[in-house]
Structure 1
Amino acid sequence: MVEKARAPAWYWIVAVLAVIWNGFGCFDYVMTVTRNVAYLSAFPREYVAYLDTLPLWLVGFWALGVGGGLAGALLLLRRARLAAAAFGVSLLGLVVTSVYQWRDTEAPAISSADVAISVAIWLIALALLLFSLRMLRAGVLR
């Protein structure tokens, strides 16, 4: 049996923060697709109306993005090698949904806060994928 490398304390901090971050992404997804009135009341009406026009296949890729991210984070907690694959699936979902939204001429105007959130999502998704690959190579993930 191959002995796995010891996970440093900062590994666990990253894994827990990844669960919290991706858990919020899943919460946002569920509240949005179930049309939770209280949650959606914080968004502009035109944005909520736009959500109703999204094709089902795109909503599926959104689910892959947030679900893959949460799965990857939970797999980090288990120190499972499949974490990297899950983060890869998450990134695929992010790529497809982002490209669709950037190209959609009917999408509502975005604010600088929206751009900042999108940049943060991209940076964190890429960082988690790279982190999981590094931990896989280091033998922390089994």
Structure 2
Amino acid sequence: MNTYSKPTKGFWIIAIIALLWNLMGTVQFLSSTVLKDLLYETLNDTQIALFENLPSWYYIVFGIAVITGVLGSILLLMRKKLAVLLFTISLIAVSIQMIYWMFATDVIDVYGTTDALTMPIIVIITALVLLMYSRSVARKGWLS
């Protein structure tokens, strides 16, 4: 049921924050793939080994997560229902990526529990919130 016909200012603020968040994820993806030499300059040998031992599919899933997140955010700003599907795909990809990172690598041994788990959990929760928000605004009729 359409409760509102026009989004509030809060909608636009959240949509812009969603885009900025997902663009930051894109920067992280680029720094761990295309620009990994620059990233490696900031890491020690143990940390570099952690990244070097990630399977190639991990980066594919990472790319899917950030691309669908950015596109979902853009479509949210354009008020398109397709944003919901893209945020769903992004959440699935983020979950696969982060669960693998937290539980199938030595990240806890390398970074410690708090540093290893905090950001992945924040990323999963943010992806879930963006999906739930996009579904909510679609139900309100703000997306077409």
TM-score normalised per structure 1: 0.87
Q: Tell me which moved more, 62-71 or 21-30.
A: 62-71
TM-score normalised per structure 2: 0.86
Question: Residue type matched to 1:84 in 2?
Answer: V
Q: 1:107 Cα shift?
A: 4.2
Q: 1:130 Cα shift?
A: 0.1
Q: Which runs of 5+ in 1 are unaligned?
A: none
Contact 1:50–1:108 (CA under 8 A) maintained in structure 2: no
CA RMSD of aligned residues (A): 1.9
In the alignment, what sits opposite 1:137? 139
> CA offsets, 1:60-113, max 9 Å, x none?
111111111111111111111011111111111112112322332544523313
Give the share of equivalent positions with the same residue, in percent. 24
In the alignment, what sits opposite 1:101? 101
Q: 1:6 Cα shift?
A: 0.3
In the alignment, what sits opposite 1:55? 55
In the alignment, what sits opposite 1:64? 64
Q: Where has structure 1 moved over 4 Å in runs of 4 or more?
A: 105-108
Q: Tell me which moved more, 35-44 or 66-75.
A: 35-44
What SS does structure 1 have at the residue aligned with 2:43? Answer: coil
CA distance in 1, matches of 2:106, 2:118: 21
How many residues matched? Answer: 139
Question: Residue type matched to 1:118 in 2?
Answer: P
Contact 1:47–1:108 (CA under 8 A) maintained in structure 2: no
Q: Which runs of 5+ in 2 are unaligned?
A: none
